[in-house]
Amino acid sequence: MAGSAIRLFVDFDGTAAHDDVGDSIFEAFLLPDLLKQRWHDYIIDEWKAGKISSFECLITECEHTRVTQDELNRHLDQRTLTPGFTKTVAYCKDNGIPLTILSDGMDYYIEYILKKHGIGDVQFKSNHMYFNNGSLGVKFPYEGKGCGRCGNCKRWHIDTLRQNGETVIYVGDGYSDRYAIRDADIIFARRDLTEYCLKHAIDFHEYNDFFDILSYLENGNE
């Protein structure tokens, strides 16, 4: 897409990272009784239905974990990035395309995984996780920047970072991207975000991995 200024925004869980890392943490470290009762599925369904905000969802999930830093790090060591993501980061760097990860997940695991894969300098905006006497805690550095339905308003970041005349490309995979895509010029979707776009008649490109994104950046959509 030579000749036009592009800015790329990328979701983290299930997009830059192959799977939803946040969900995997809760599935691994929530109190065992809650896992047996499928409490996590219930909370996620409530969030997807819009009955609770992502803000409320994350707070209650974190409060009900039991995990040490070592245990969490070992868990994160097993997580992988989506194929082609590190190459896309390198391409953007070489070609002056700003790339920002926008996540309604948490900084600790994003930073850990990016560093582990040698791309710790990628800019990201997320909520803040901390260890809290054997469980996890979460804070919201961007609280109040949006309408309150999300802990970290991706639309606010897009509106704040984009420069006049830029074409905004957004890459996502799920419900945490449903508001952000309203401000994007070009949308790449997979998994739940595909269904959302179809349901709401929103134009999108389907992708399997970041080699599809890289190909688009290199060649455009001709």
Closest CA to 139 of 147, 130, 148: 130
**For Mg ion, which stretch binds (CB under 5 A), given 10-18, 106-114, 136-144, 199-207?**
10-18
Which neighbouring-strand residues pair with 129? Answer: 138
Residue 104 within binding range of Mg ion, rule CB under 5 A: no
User: What is the size of the binding site for Mg ion (CB under 5 A)?
Assistant: 5
What minimum distance in Å lies between the beta carbon of 174 and Mg ion?
A: 4
Q: Which of 11, 104, 107, 212 binds Mg ion (CB under 5 A)?
A: 11
Burial class (CB in 10 A: 0-12, 13-18, 19+), 1: middle
What minimum distance in Å lies between the beta carbon of 165 and Mg ion?
A: 28
**Structural tokens at position 39:** 């409490």
Q: Which of 14, 22, 84, 151 binds Mg ion (CB under 5 A)?
A: 14
What is the rounded distance in angstroms from the CA atom of residue 112 to the CA atom of residue 109? 5
5/46 with CB nearer Mg ion: 46
13/212 with CB nearer Mg ion: 13
151/174 with CB nearer Mg ion: 174
37/208 with CB nearer Mg ion: 208
CA 39 to chain centre: 23
Residue 173 within binding range of Mg ion, rule CB under 5 A: yes
What minimum distance in Å lies between the beta carbon of 88 and Mg ion?
A: 16
- The CA–CA distances, whole Å, from 57 to 19, 47, 122, 190, 205 equal 19, 7, 26, 23, 29
SS3 161: helix
**For Mg ion, which stretch binds (CB under 5 A), given 64-72, 120-128, 173-181, 198-206?**
173-181
What minimum distance in Å lies between the beta carbon of 146 and Mg ion?
A: 17
Alpha helices (runs of H) in the chain, residue ranges in sequence order: 21-29, 32-36, 39-48, 54-63, 69-77, 85-94, 107-116, 154-161, 192-199, 210-219
Q: Is the dihedral of CA 158, 62, 141, 75 positive or negative?
A: negative
131/179 with CB nearer Mg ion: 179
Q: Which of 6, 13, 64, 125 binds Mg ion (CB under 5 A)?
A: 13
Query: In this structure, are strands 6-10 and 99-106 parallel, antiparallel, or unpaired?
Result: parallel
Name the residue with the smallest CB distance to Mg ion: 14
Chain residues in the site for Mg ion (CB under 5 A): 11, 13-14, 173-174
